[in-house]
Amino acid sequence: MSKQIEDNYNPSKEDNKNSGKIHFIRKKLSLPNFNNNREFGRLNLEHCLYRYQWQGNFSSPIEQQLKEGKMQVLNIGSGTCAWVMDMATEYPKCTFLGLDTSPIFLTEGQRLPNTGFMQSDVLNNETFDFVSERFLIYASTNSECRLLFNEMCRVLKPGGWIELMEFRIGYENYGPITKSGNDQVLDYLRKKGIYSEMNINMIPQLIQDSPCLTNFYQLEKKGPIGNWGGEFGSLMLENYKMSRRSLNSFAKLISDNEHEEFIKQLSTVMTALKLTNHIGKSKRPLKKYMTYGILPIYDGSSAIS
């Protein structure tokens, strides 16, 4: 069934003149390759952490529609396919399409019958009832973010929802070691023409400027990084360290020896924070997360010029 689903969403030659492209920046930038066991496992852990923190895989008010099976759902940048498979299991009456430019890990036999996955970026107008995107602004320039947002609106049906989840590369109350690590990542992104803070701050303006979107909701949560946050905080720290190793393996932010020393220092600092926080003398560093749910005005058109 998966192949049939993919064929259903793939525009015919006759439709191509009315089709655009969902652009992914993995084509242009070197990003960690999740097609290896270590990064694959880390991304799946990350998915579980976000699901736990948000108590679900989405925040838009679409639960009843999903249960009734009235929705066609697009997940942009599907990665390891964890989000699609979770949603397809919970809502078997709906259809879910994962879109990514990297090869899909799942074999045909591993996929659920209500899922499809495409290593492609061409889709018809007004196709989906719900479009979900996560964590792509750190792989996108400012102009590419605008283009991606417009494309998400183009493929959304009138009355549908768009949801974006992003996070800031930053912490509250962090010290010099964590700041140094953050600065290394931000410097690397800036050399690639990516200004992540500008991208995040731009999202509300994109929504406000859109001629066909309304009912904008912004949610924000904060999560612990470190042993002081219990099991969740410990796993968040582990995910952070693994992501740093993955990034440093190809970006070479610092030498391997410097990186291992950074990880050791970071672990020591986070353990110390638990002790000082326990006696009330240190504030906790918190990582910020945001999600946006957007409902277009039902006026017969969801296209953006």
pLDDT in tens, 223-277: 787 787 889 888 988 888 888 888 777 677 778 788 788 777 777 766 555 433 3
pLDDT in tens, 189-207: 888 888 888 888 887 777 7
Beta bridge partner(s), residue 293: 163, 217
pLDDT band at 303 (very low <50, low <70, confident <90, very high): very low
pLDDT in tens, 78-96: 888 999 999 999 999 999 9
The domain spans of the chain are 2-169+194-221+289-296
pLDDT in tens, 170-184: 666 667 777 788 888
| CA distance to 57, 79, 243, 261, 266, per residue, from 41 (Å) | 18, 11, 11, 24, 22
Residue 284 contacts residue 229 (beta carbons within 8 Å): yes
Q: Structure pTM?
A: 0.79
Order of strands, sheet of 128-134, starting from the edge strand that comes earlier in the sequence: 115-118, 95-99, 72-76, 128-134, 156-171, 286-296, 213-224
**pLDDT at site 8:** 63
Residue 153 contacts residue 213 (beta carbons within 8 Å): yes
pLDDT band at 16 (very low <50, low <70, confident <90, very high): very low
Per CATH, is 2-169+194-221+289-296 categorized as 3.30.420.40?
Answer: no
**pLDDT at site 179:** 79
**pLDDT at site 290:** 43
